[in-house]
A and B are shown apart, each in its own frame.
Chain A
Amino acid sequence: MYVAVKGGEKAIDQAHSWLDETRRGDTSLPELSVAQIREQMGLAVDRVMTEGSLYDPELAALALKQASGDVIEAIFLLRAYRTTLPRFLASCPVETNKMAIRRRISAAYKDLPGGQVLGPTYDYTHRLLDFTLLANGERPTTPPADETVGDCPRVLDFLNSEGLIERESVETEEPSDLTRQPLDYPANRDLRLQALARGDEGFLLALAYSTQRGYGRNHPFAGEIRQGEVAVEIAPEELGFPVIAGDIRVTECDMINQFSGTETEAPRFTRGYGLAFGNSERKALAMALVDRALRARELGEDVVSPAQDEEFVLAHCDNLDSSGFVSHLKLPHYVDFQSELVLLRRLRKEFEERKSGGQGPHAEPTAEPGLSDEPNENTQQLREANQA
């Protein structure tokens, strides 16, 4: 006789040990160290820190190692760790104006005070596989000229001084935190920016792209992208003045967008903003575009496209929400499925009965009151109804 499968516990243990073995791979090859990942897989580390909402390159590298390089799994590990950390206090807003610049470009001006600083970028590389790396040879690197980047005033401040762009409103209230309070709609911009900063890079990239293709177009210019180190300051109450807690590397994007004006207000450019940990330029750009798109309501634009739809974007941008819920389809659903089977068989039986009954000389009227006269139900309809 069939015996229902038991032993989930043992199976789980076995699966885990097989996983450990698989993660390690060929043991004749040296094991990757966390430090190696941190130093040589820096962009992956940066993404894990950004979407994991925790600035800790070492733990992000550890998470990547533990997750066999699966970025979303690594983000999960980091988030699950982060959520247990106590909170002492909130930092002061970081002063990105005082950033120690590694890279700074503007697509709006050819030249500007502080200059265009390319920094370490893949932008103008030719995407040709470098077989020197395959042969375990590193090309000799010439250290960059030891030239400190001078003062880089903000591009948007030039526009500001002429009144050409909207002023950023200074919010004095304590910013909200969606990891502590449930997200409520409509959300303020601080919450939206937090959600976008944690949001999945791929999802935001696709949404940002959709705005460029006309689904909520907002005519963007990359006003300024800067990347470098900023000091994180905290101001403990008993101290009365801020002290530096440490430096973090961030990428910031100021987007200049289409202008708007009203009868009473002169036309001016609008803004979109992106900020991410480390070197995460694609993310910062996408975030800035989506931030601007989500300001549609506030700026009096029609909300007609997905990227402008706050509930749509915020409810679906988190990759732990989405990967968790999509992957939960792997969990057993025997009971629900059985319920559907029971109904489907019954419907099909009734359908057959009606069909054969309808052809016979003594056609019985259908036993079901309220049933449509047309026997045109089919499984497709049923499927649709059940998915609804």
Chain B
Amino acid sequence: MTTASLNQHTDTRADNTGYNFAYLDEQTKRMIRRCLLKAVAVPGYQVPFGGREMPLPYGWGTGGMQVTATVIGSDDALKVIDQGADDTTNAVSIRRFFARTAGVVTTESTSEASVIQTRHRIPETPLSSGQILVYQVPIPEPLRFIEPRETETRKMHALQEYGVMHVKLYEDIARFGHIATTYAYPVKVNGHYVMDPSPIPKFDNPKMHGSPALQLFGAGREKRIYAIPPFTRVESLDFEDHPFEIQGWDQTCEFCGSDHSFLDEVVTDDEGGRIFICSDTDYCNQRLNTGASKEAV
């Protein structure tokens, strides 16, 4: 496991890094916690926060990192995924950052983690009460590509002026026969705010609904935080005659044979050969450990 080597410094804590526990100073954490409380109190509402400059580039997870740094404690177990996988380079980089600055235990297991920072996926293993899922968000404003002005979109949210979003989805149907949004698919939270679930595939949208875990969203560059408290209603926008639907595959996972998880396509040769594998590496491994295989299915 990669985690063992990362945690050699658990005992020495962050003292030898010259930085505060989990990098951010306590005043900043307090400011962010206040914003988080507001975000939880008003589900789906984008709370502006005094985002700090992080030692990783904007657009690479600085919002999620600030949220994680704020909620994490020394007894937490942190899991970091990117595209569902624990071993993608940016996930490795962020996990190392916290192993180094907070000395927390890191894990690849979804069920063992108390805090999970993610980019672009929600784990396949259902989350449980007490877990926190922190999303990295590039563009928090679901209306941004319809109305680029912040001054306008804030008003639209306040007035629940979401007709334009439905028009956009309808135009897709008129043109393609389908809603052509496949990721960052807009949702309505608790019957009020339309929210960008971050660029997760719409495949993951149903997992947000009524989740027992606390879901926190951090957008560092855009300086916004929002949240979905546990057991909150989250509906993907759709039409009566065009109900929301998720992607499906004709193939199954090459390793574990899963026919119900999100599959990544891997090109295996230059003649169009390809296989499909679970994007959630932990889920795939868990299945393999319990004896699942492509052949067994």
| Interface residue? A2 (CB, 8 A) | yes
B residues near A248, Cβ cutoff 8 Å: none
A298→B174 CA distance, assembly (Å): 44
Contact at A182–B51, with CB atoms within 8 Å? yes
Stretch of B37-45, B90-98, B127-135, B188-196 at the chain-chain interface? B90-98
Contact at A372–B175, with CB atoms within 8 Å? yes
A residues near B175, Cβ cutoff 8 Å: 372, 377, 381, 385
Contact at B201–A368, with CB atoms within 8 Å? no
Contact at A9–B92, with CB atoms within 8 Å? yes
**B2-38 at interface with A (beta carbon < 8 Å):** 2, 19, 25
Contact at A328–B60, with CB atoms within 8 Å? yes
| Interface residue? B275 (CB, 8 A) | yes
Residue of A nearest to B281 (CB): A4
| Interface residue? B125 (CB, 8 A) | no
Given A2-B275, A333-B120, check contact A185 B151 (CB 8 Å). Answer: yes
A385→B175 CA distance, assembly (Å): 9
Q: A311 touches which one: B92, B150, B223 (CB < 8 A)?
A: B150
B residues near A343, Cβ cutoff 8 Å: 178, 180, 182, 247
Interface string of A10-49 (1 = CB under 8 A from B): 0110000000000000000000000000000000000000
Q: How many pairs, one residue from A and one from B, have CB atoms within 8 Å of each other in the complex?
A: 175
The smallest beta-carbon distance between B83 and chain A, in angstroms, is 5
Interface string of A73-101 (1 = CB under 8 A from B): 00010011011101000000000000000
Contact at A335–B174, with CB atoms within 8 Å? no
Contact at B58–A321, with CB atoms within 8 Å? yes
A residues near B180, Cβ cutoff 8 Å: 343, 347, 382, 385-386
B residues near A76, Cβ cutoff 8 Å: 57
B residues near A86, Cβ cutoff 8 Å: 25
Residue of B nearest to A82 (CB): B53
Given contacts A182-B51, A347-B178, A368-B178, 6 further A-B contacts (CB under 8 A): A12-B89, A331-B119, A333-B83, A338-B262, A370-B242, A388-B168
B residues near A323, Cβ cutoff 8 Å: 57
Contact at B82–A331, with CB atoms within 8 Å? yes
Residue of A nearest to B220 (CB): A324
Q: B247 touches which one: A8, A339, A386 (CB < 8 A)?
A: A339
Contact at B168–A336, with CB atoms within 8 Å? no
Determine chain B's interface SS by DSSP, over half rule: loop
Interface string of B150-178 (1 = CB under 8 A from A): 11000000000000000010011111111
The smallest beta-carbon distance between B276 and chain A, in angstroms, is 9
Interface string of A171-191 (1 = CB under 8 A from B): 000000001111111100000
**Hey, which bits of chain A sit against chain B, CB under 8 A?**
1-2, 4, 6-9, 11-12, 76, 79-80, 82-84, 86, 179-186, 311, 315, 320-321, 323-328, 331-336, 338-343, 346-347, 350, 366, 368-372, 377, 381-382, 385-386, 388
A336→B200 CA distance, assembly (Å): 7
Q: B59 touches which one: A184, A186, A325 (CB < 8 A)?
A: A325
The smallest beta-carbon distance between B40 and chain A, in angstroms, is 18
The smallest beta-carbon distance between B281 and chain A, in angstroms, is 8
The smallest beta-carbon distance between B243 and chain A, in angstroms, is 12
Residue picked from B54, B59, B172, B254, most chain A C-beta under 10 Å? B59
Q: B201 touches which one: A12, A80, A327, A338 (CB < 8 A)?
A: A338
Q: Can you name 12 A-B pairs with beta carbons within 8 Å?
A: A6-B87, A80-B53, A80-B55, A179-B50, A179-B52, A182-B48, A185-B150, A327-B60, A339-B247, A371-B174, A371-B177, A381-B175
Nearest 7 CB-CB pairings of A with B: A324-B58, A328-B59, A368-B177, A339-B182, A324-B57, A325-B59, A182-B48
A311→B154 CA distance, assembly (Å): 13
B residues near A315, Cβ cutoff 8 Å: 150
**Hey, which bits of chain B sit against chain A, CB under 8 A?**
2, 19, 25, 48-55, 57-60, 62, 82-84, 87-93, 96, 119-121, 138, 145, 148-151, 168, 171-178, 180-184, 199-203, 221, 223-224, 241-242, 247-249, 254, 262-266, 268, 275, 277, 279, 281
Residue of B nearest to A387 (CB): B145
A377→B135 CA distance, assembly (Å): 34
Contact at A342–B87, with CB atoms within 8 Å? no
Contact at B221–A335, with CB atoms within 8 Å? no
The smallest beta-carbon distance between A121 and chain B, in angstroms, is 33
B residues near A2, Cβ cutoff 8 Å: 254, 266, 268, 275
Contact at A182–B49, with CB atoms within 8 Å? yes
A37→B57 CA distance, assembly (Å): 25
The smallest beta-carbon distance between A346 and chain B, in angstroms, is 7
A4→B279 CA distance, assembly (Å): 10
Given A182-B223, A388-B145, check contact A339 B52 (CB 8 Å). Answer: no
A20→B87 CA distance, assembly (Å): 24
B residues near A324, Cβ cutoff 8 Å: 57-60, 62, 221
A192→B59 CA distance, assembly (Å): 23
Contact at A83–B120, with CB atoms within 8 Å? no
The smallest beta-carbon distance between B215 and chain A, in angstroms, is 18
A residues near B148, Cβ cutoff 8 Å: 311
Contact at B183–A336, with CB atoms within 8 Å? yes
A179→B255 CA distance, assembly (Å): 47
Residue of B nearest to A1 (CB): B254
Contact at A346–B178, with CB atoms within 8 Å? yes
A residues near B52, Cβ cutoff 8 Å: 83, 179
